[in-house]
Structure 1
Amino acid sequence: MNILLTGSAGFIGSHLTERLLAEGHHVIGVDNYLSGQPANTALFREHPRFRFIQADVSLGLPDPGVRLDFVLHFASPASPPHYQQHPVATLMVGAQGTQHALDLARAHGAAFLLASTSEVYGDPEVHPQPETYWGHVNPNGLRSCYDEAKRYAEALTMAYHRHYGVDTRIVRIFNTYGPRMRADDGRVVTNFIHQALAGQPLTVYGDGSQTRSFQYVSDLVRGIMALMDVPDPFPVNLGNPDEYTILQFAERIRDLIDPRLPIIHRPLPADDPRQRRPDITRARTLLGWSPQVSLQDGLARTVESFRAVGGQPERLVSARLDGH
């Protein structure tokens, strides 16, 4: 297929590009490098079935020059430090960016897949979170620029499906980790690994009792590929239902790298969700999908990718790890 992928230079976008090319597809990557990395584009520059367009999808999408079969919309800052640094751009890529991507898919008669997020559930009052849960979101808090952008993007995607008949899909992505994460993204995985490799104390916010579930990036990509084959417009959770407290997670990484390191505590950020765990019943039923990579194996691969480049933040974005 001819596939246009926005956010192709991002962490997930680069792994998805790699898988699509391996499956024989032609990929047109689009990114403006607000949070994506040129090093990720460089991985595929010489591939005969990859083409890159540097553009801000919030301002519009250029004519790709070929008939498209699929538009995958993954463009957006996704980590709290990045979207809080660029709140307006985050809202715009969720609003205008999504509309431009949907218009392109509609013009080409192409299918469309939106990368949404578990953040649409906010600080959930239902646990674990099924797709039928409407969420508990602060519409004007520090995280609202991302939460509400994705909630609007979902609403717009469903409107295009219902009103225009566009073949759409929505994936709600839960915490995902693996090689090529930005070392400065402020997420718990990269923070802990970088601190531990540097011999620094691991910083836990609050008492560490808040929970998360972590899926390895290859599991996510496999789920996305499966969803592309199923014409179902309603949201699908993709995440690992194994749940850990942040303190347990810090201990896992510390023990993997240096058990002697201390763990220190800092105040909890505003609107930080207390618990997050996906109900993946729908993914199991609809896609026959469930995560396969254990936390131990995934962390070992991720730590090795950090070590392979000496743990230097400015070099981590170009790290590459086989076997995913």
Structure 2
Amino acid sequence: MNIDAQKRILITGAAGFLGSHLCDRFIAEDFHVIGMDNLITGDLRNIAHLFKLPNFEFYQHDVSKFVHVPGRLDYILHFASPASPIDYLQIPIQTLKVGSLGTHNLLGLAKSKSARILVASTSEVYGDPLVSPQSEEYWGNVNPVGPRGVYDEAKRFQEAMTMAYHNFHGLETRIVRIFNTYGPRMRLNDGRALPTFIAQALRGEPLSVFGDGKHTRSFCYVSDQVEGIFRLLFSDYVLPMNIGNPDEMTINEIALEIIALMGNRSNIVYEKLPVDDPKQRQPDISKAKLILDWTPKVSRKEGLEKTIAYFKTLPQEELKQKDFTYYNQK
């Protein structure tokens, strides 16, 4: 492709789990990809395979500070943010800043470059929902001063700021509300159930289920999530859209599935449920089906097998690391 005609896209949070998979997708689509990450939770190993490519470049930078990218930009994907419960407690101020100051900086960059920007929101904007499944019209049940509030409110502010730029400046914006996503490159022991269960099973430990295990989640494999985001970016839809797998299951059920798939004799132990932990999480994806012609394709069994295989390749010393800060709240 003529380099002058090649589309240029900035992806923040590029060294993270989802950001790195988005880098792969846009490289495959022959974009020139500019990755940006401050590496506070990201890992360069996730994008190491891209450094040798002429259409990839990387900047280590905190988007909460002024963002400068030389040259033309056609698109921006704003995926810079801590995304696990443990991170909320360890770096709460940074979590709030990347959702507010970081979003403001990137919206301003998009405006100056006449670029379309898609921001990554989350199902956490619904809080501990009083309705299920959660549609985009549901306004949520959120505790702004609870331990999860720093993430929930950062994302709610991010959505409001994005819509303000769209309505006031006419900026081309898109908002994706991401439901639980899993796959290779997830961080071990980051407080989320699925990778923690796999890590515990690999260590031959009991699986720690918090509460009675009857609360639910809906798990979407990463390639399906990326496909939904890709379609949303190039759609004409400007309001928030849920992208996730509506196949709801209890935490007990996912724990038992992982035990069965890994063929070990781990059992389940029950711990106190953390403050404000959502009891239900299930996306209504009617809009994604209608507008994007998108539905998840990867079965949970296939997705879990790929994820488990990835975790088995990690160094033993990394597998042994544990961090349950989030679950040790007083």
TM-score normalized by the length of structure 2:
0.93
The CA deviation at 1:71 is: 0.8
Deviation at 1:289, TM superposition (A): 0.2
Give the Cα separation in 2 of the matches to 1:202 and 1:315.
14
C-alpha distance 253-159 of structure 1, shift in aligned 2 (>3 A): same
Q: Is the 8 A contact 1:184 1:313 kept in 2?
A: no
Q: Aligned partners of 1:178, 1:51: CA distance in 2, in Å?
A: 24
- Counterpart residue number, 2:40: 34
The question of 1:50 aligning with 2:50 is answered no
Match of 2:229 in 1: 224
Q: Does 1:138 align with 2:172?
A: no
Cα 1:53–1:314, aligned 2, differ >3 Å: closer, same or farther?
farther
Give the superposition deviation at 1:309: 3.1
2:308 aligned to which of 303, 311, 318: 303
**Structure 1 residues 130 and 31: CA distance shift in structure 2, 3 A:** same
Instruction: Verify: 1:150 aligned to 2:140, yes or no.
Output: no
| Equivalent residue runs for 1:254-273 within 5 Å | 254-273=259-278
Alignment partners' CA distance in 2, 1:295 and 1:314: 23
- Report the equivalent of 1:320: none
Give the equivalent residue in structure 1 for 2:248.
243
Q: Which residue of 1 aligns with 2:326?
A: none
| SS of equivalent to 1:43 | helix
Alignment of 1:95-174 (within 5 A): 95-174=100-179
Q: Is the 8 A contact 1:201 1:264 kept in 2?
A: yes
Distance 1:313 1:136 in 2: 36
Give the Cα–Cα distance (whole angstroms) in 1 for the partners of residues 315 and 42 of structure 2: 21
Instruction: Kindly indicate whether residue 13 of structure 2 is the aligned counterpart of residue 7 of structure 1.
Output: yes
| Alpha-carbon separation, structure 1, partners of 2:315 and 2:194 | 17
Shift in Å, 1:314: 6.2
Deviation at 1:245, TM superposition (A): 0.3
1:208-238 Cα offsets, whole Å, 9 max, x none, are: 0000000000000000110111122100100
8 Å CA contact 1:213, 1:239 repeated in 2: yes
Per-residue Cα deviation, 1:85-140 (whole angstroms, up to 9, x for no partner): 10000000000000000000000000010000000000000100000000000010
Pick the aligned partner of 1:16 from 19, 22, 27: 22
Conserved 8 A contact 1:182-1:313: no
Cα RMSD of the aligned pairs, angstroms, is 1.3
Residue of structure 2 equivalent to 1:321: none
- What SS class does the counterpart of residue 76 from structure 1 fall into? coil
Give the AA of the match of 1:207. D
The number of aligned residues is 315
Question: Residue 17 of structure 1 aligns to a residue in which SS?
Answer: helix
Instruction: Give the partner amino acid of 1:47.
Output: L
The question of 1:67 aligning with 2:72 is answered yes
